[in-house]
Amino acid sequence: MQNNHINMYYEKEFSLPLILIFIIASIITMTVGNVFAAEQASGSRSDLTGLNIEQLMDIEVATVYGASKFEQTVLEAPSSISIVTASDIKQYGYRTLADILKSIRGFYTTYDRNYDYIGIRGFSRPGDYNSRVLLLIDGHRVNDNIYGTASIGTDFILDVDLIERVEIVRGPGSSLYGTNAFFGIINVITRNGRDIKGMEVSGEGASFGTYKGRMTYGNQFKNGLNMLLSASAYDSKGQSLYYKEFDTPDQNNGRTDGCDYDKYKSLFGKISLRDVVVEGAFITRQKGIPTSSWGTQFNESGSKTTDNLGYVDVKYERNFEDKFDVMARFHYNRYKYEGTYVSTPVNKDSALGEWWGGELKLGKTFFEKHRMIFGIEYQDNIKQNQENYFINPDFTAMDDRRTSMNWGVYLQDEFTILENLTLNAGVRHDHYQTFGGTTNPRIALIYNPFDTAFIKLIYGEAFRAPNAFEYYYHDGNVTTKSNKNLSPETIKTYELVYEQYFRNQLRLTASGFYYKIKDLISQQIDPADGLLAFNNVEEVEAKGLEFELGRKWKNGFEGRISYTLQETKNLDTGRLLSNSPKNMGKLNMICPLINKKLSAGLELQYTGAKTTINNNNAGGFLTGNLTLFSKDFYKGIEASASVYNIFDRAYNDPGGPEHVQNKIEQNGRSFRLKITYRF
Amino acid sequence: MFYRLLIFPVFFIVIANPFYINAETLKFDEYEVKAAFIYNFIKFIEWPDELPKNRPVPINLYVLGYDPFGKALGSLQGKQIRGRTINIKRAGSPKGLINCHILFISSSEKQHIPEILRSIKGLNTLTISDTAGFAKKGIIVNFYTEGEKVRFEINLDAAKRANLTISSKLLGLAKIVRDSQSIGEN
C-alpha cells in the first residue's frame, strides 16, 4: 500500500506540469513558425541550386506505402501515420524495433525480460504476443501462424541498422490486409544495396556485457542488379536482478545470476533485377528467463526460450504502360519456438509453424477519378504443431498437429469526388478453414479545405482470427483445455484526424478516436470443469485524443512533441483495462552541434500510471535517452555514444499472469558505443 | 522530478532559438528541390553540341504539359552553368521543338508518351519526368520518392538513343533501369 501511495503521488505531480510544458512548447514552436512564415513572405528565399546532388538527396518530402497499398503522401492516406527513417535510427541510437515504437505518438511497449509487447490505443493484453498488430517487412507479413507474434525486441527478424524507414499506420487495416491488422500496421522498408555500394561493418558494445557486430555488403551493378547481404550477431550477458518475491535464503536471497542472457544471430538478403525482388531473412534468438515465470525454479539459467523465424519472398511488380499495375508475391515461412522451463520435472514447450502463400494485386485508374486496387491472397499453413512434454519423469501433455488454410479477396477505390475531396473505400472478405468467413470494410473521407490542411473522417472494421495457440493449446486437461469453437475478435473504429503541414516544415496533427471491440479472446476458467480455456468473452471500449506538433529546420535541427489522452474500459466489468496508461507524452529532438558532422538526439517519454493485472498501481514514469552521433569526421566512419534512461529512473512494467511478480523492474541508466565503417 | 522536466522546454527554446534566428530556415518545396536537381544534372551530362571548338550555346529547357514547378523553375532562368545560359520555355506540343536540350514531361502527358518520344527522336534531348513507370517507357531521367527523399532513375538505353553522355558519378546515384520490352525496338 505504501508503494501505491508513492506512485499515486508521482502521477499527480507529473501530469499537470507535463501538460503545461507541452502547451508552452507547442505555442513556442507555433510562434516561431509564424515569424518565419512572415519572413518568407517578405521574400528571403533560399537558393537550393547551391546544393550538390548528394545534399539534395537528403532533403525530405513525405510519402507512405502501407496505408493503401500504393505510394501516396502521408496527408492523402486514409489513416494517421508516423514515419521513422534510417537517419532517426542512427541519431536517436535505436537498438530494437521496440525502441523505435516507444518514440511514436500513442505507442508504448512493455518488457517482461523475455519478450517485448506493443501497447497501442491503450491496449496491451497479458498473454498477447503482439498478434493485434500486423508487422510487415517490405510488404511481407511476418506474424507467425501459431501465436500471431509480431516480434519487436531482440527477436525482431531484421537488424534495425538495415531499415530504410518504418511506416506506422494507426487504425484497422483488415480491409486490405486481413487478420492481425487490428489496431495498426507496422511496415518496415529495408535499405537498398545501391545506397551502400560496398561493405559496411559495424560494431557496438553496451552495458550489461552486451556486444553486437554486423557485416553488410550492398551494390548495384551496371545491368541494374541490386543486391544486399547482411549478417548480424548479438550477445548480451544481462544483469543480475533482485526480486523481493523470491527473497529467501534457499533462493539466493531473491537474486538471479546469469539468467538474463540474450543472444541472436540474424541474416538478411535482398536481390532485385528489373521487376523481380527476391528477399530472405532468418533469425535465431535465445533468451534466458530471469523472472522465474510459469512457476519455474528461481535463479535457474537453464530456463530459456529460443525463437527461430525465417522467410523467403519473391515479388514481381510491374507497371504495364497506361493499362494497369501488377504485383504478384509468393513466399515460404518457417517459425520454431522451443521453451525450456526448469522445475521438477523439466517442462519443454515447443511449436513449429510452416506456411506458404501468395498474393496477386492489380491496380488501375479509371476515368482519372477512380484509383482502384483489386487483390487476392492465399495462405496454406502446412504445419501448426504444438508440443508440451515433461522430462524425468517423461510425460507428454500435448502433441497437437494441425494444418489449415485461409484466403482473402479485397477491393479498394480511391475516388476523387472533387479536387479537394477524396473518398477512400475498401472491403475485404476472408475465409478461414477454421471458423468460416468475415468481411471487413473501411471508408475514409479526406477533405482538403485549404492549402496543406487535411481533415480525415475514417470508419473501419477489422478482425483477428483466433490463432492455433488459442484454439488448440492444452496441458493434457490438467489446468488448461482447448476450445475449437472460437470466433474471430472484431473491432469497429471511428476516427477523426486533422493534419496540417505549414510551408515552413511545421506539421500539426490532432486526432480523436473511438474503438469498440467485441468477442475479445481471453483465457477464462470454465465453471463446468474448473479448467482454463480461451473464449470470446470480453467487450472493450477505447477512446482517446492525440496531439502532435513537429518541425524541421534546414540546418538539421528538428523536434516533435506529442500528447495522448486515452481510456480503455472493459464494458462487462466497467473496469479500466490493465497495462493501459491514461496519459502519455513524448518529446524528440535532433540538434546539430558541429556542422552536419555531430548531432545530439534527445528523447523524453512520459508514460502515465497503469494498473497491473491484479489492480495494483504501476506508477507513471518519465525516461529520457540521449545519443551523440557523428559522421564523416573520418571518411566512411559513423560513431555514436548513447545513454538510455539518463535520469536512472526506476520504473516497472506490469507482468502477465505467468509471473509471480506483479511488476517487473526495467533497466536503469545504461550506455552504448557504436562504430560503423563503410568502404 | 518537476525540474528535470523543465530542462526540455528550456533546451528547446535556448538551443533551438539561436539557430532559427540566424539561419535561413525556409521551406523545401518538392518542386524547388526537383528544379535544383535538374540544375545539377546539367553539370554531369554532355550534349553532342558541346564540341570544344564550338562557342557555348544556351541550354533550352522546355516544360511540356501542366507545369508543376510554379515559380521554382523560373529561378533557373538566365543562370550560367559551364559557360552556358539556361533558357526556360513552355512547350504547347512536342512537335516542332528544335534545340531542345532538356524536356520536362509532366504527368499530365501520361497518355501521349510514345508520340512525344517519336516527335523528339534524333534531337539529343534529355527527357525528364516524375511519374511512376515513365523511365521504362523511354524517359531518360525519372524522379521518384523513396522514404521521404527525392530519388531518380536513369534509363541507359534511352540516354544512348539520345546520344547523351552521362557521367558515372550521376549514374552511381541513380537507380538504373532499362526499356521495358514493348519499346525495346524503338
Q: Which three cell numbers stand for residue B80?
A: 550560367
CB contact under 8 A, A194 and B27: no
Query: How many Å apart are CA B154 and CA B138, to the nearest integer?
Result: 10
Interface check B183 vs A, CB under 8 A? no
Q: What is this model's ipTM?
A: 0.73
A31, A84, A321: best to mutate for the B interface, most B CBs within 10 A: A321
Residue A29 has pLDDT above 60, yes or no: no
Q: Which three cell numbers stand for residue A104?
A: 511514436
Quick one: pLDDT at residue A169? 92
In this predicted model, what pLDDT tens digit does every residue of B28-75 receive, in sequence order?
Answer: 677 888 888 999 898 888 888 766 556 677 888 988 887 778 777 888
Interface check B39 vs A, CB under 8 A? yes
CB contact under 8 A, A32 and B17: yes
Residue A635: other Cβ atoms inside 10 A: 9
Confidence of residue A678 (pLDDT cuts 50, 70, 90): very high
Residue B19 in domain: no
Residues in CB range of A448: below 8 A, 6 or more apart:
A75, A420, A421, A422, A454, A455
How many CB pairs (< 8 A) connect A and B?
160
Residue B33 in domain: yes
Which CATH number goes with the domain that contains B54?
3.40.50
Which CATH number goes with the domain that contains A626?
2.40.170.20
In this predicted model, what pLDDT tens digit does every residue of A214-248 receive, in sequence order?
Answer: 999 999 887 878 899 999 999 999 999 999 999 99
Q: What value, to the nearest 5°, has the Cα angle with vertex A181 and ends A177 and A183? A: 150
Residue of A nearest to B153 (CA): A224
| A667 residue type, one letter | N
- CB distance B40 to A53 below 8 Å: yes
Residue B70 in domain: yes
Instruction: Output b/e per residue, B77-95; b: 16+ Cβ within 10 A.
Output: eebeeeebebbbeebeebe
Quick one: pLDDT at residue A356? 96
Quick one: pLDDT at residue A18? 56
Residue B96 in domain: yes
Residue B144 in domain: yes
Residues in CB range of A474: below 8 A, 6 or more apart:
A397, A398, A400, A480, A481, A482
Packing angle between helix A2-41 and helix B2-22, nearest 10 degrees?
10
Mean pLDDT of chain A: 87
Query: How many Å apart are CA A543 and CA A647, to the nearest integer?
Result: 32
Quick one: pLDDT at residue A66? 53
Residues 144-173 of B with CB under 8 A from A: 145-151, 170, 172-173
Interface check B98 vs A, CB under 8 A? no
* Mean pLDDT of the region A323-349: 93
Residue A132 has pLDDT above 60, yes or no: yes
User: Nearest CA to CA, how far is B48 from chain A (Å)?
Assistant: 23
Quick one: pLDDT at residue B7? 53
Q: Which residue has the cell 525502441?
A: A99
* Mean pLDDT of the region A269-293: 94
Q: What value, to the nearest 5°, has the Cα angle with vertex A618 and ends A615 and A620? A: 135
Residue of B nearest to A58 (CA): B149
* Mean pLDDT of the region A649-666: 90
Quick one: pLDDT at residue B81? 83
CB contact under 8 A, A10 and B1: yes
Residue A406 has pLDDT above 80, yes or no: yes
User: Nearest CA to CA, how far is A113 from chain B (Å)?
Assistant: 27
In this predicted model, what pLDDT tens digit does every residue of A456-490 receive, in sequence order?
Answer: 999 999 999 999 999 999 888 888 899 999 999 99
More confident residue, A662 or A72: A662
**Number of structural domains found in chain B:** 1
CA atoms within 13 A on the CB side of A413: 9
Domain that holds residue A102: 2-678
Residue B20: other Cβ atoms inside 10 A: 20
Residue B173 in domain: yes
Interface check B11 vs A, CB under 8 A? yes
Residue B77 in domain: yes
Name the least confident of A94-108, A161-175, A313-327, A386-400.
A313-327
Residue B175 in domain: yes
Name the least confident of A277-286, A641-650, B57-66.
B57-66
Task: Tell me the chain A residues in contact with residue B11 when contact means C-beta distances shorter than 8 Å.
Answer: 589, 602
CB contact under 8 A, A553 and B23: yes
* Mean pLDDT of the region A276-303: 94
Q: Which three cell numbers stand for residue A591?
A: 540538434
User: Nearest CA to CA, how far is B176 from chain A (Å)?
Assistant: 5
Domain that holds residue B155: 29-183
Mean pLDDT of chain B: 76
Confidence of residue A23 (pLDDT cuts 50, 70, 90): low
Quick one: pLDDT at residue A67? 56
* Mean pLDDT of the region B136-158: 87
Confidence of residue A45 (pLDDT cuts 50, 70, 90): very low
Query: How many Å apart are CA A142 and CA B140, to the nearest integer?
Result: 37
CB contact under 8 A, A49 and B17: no
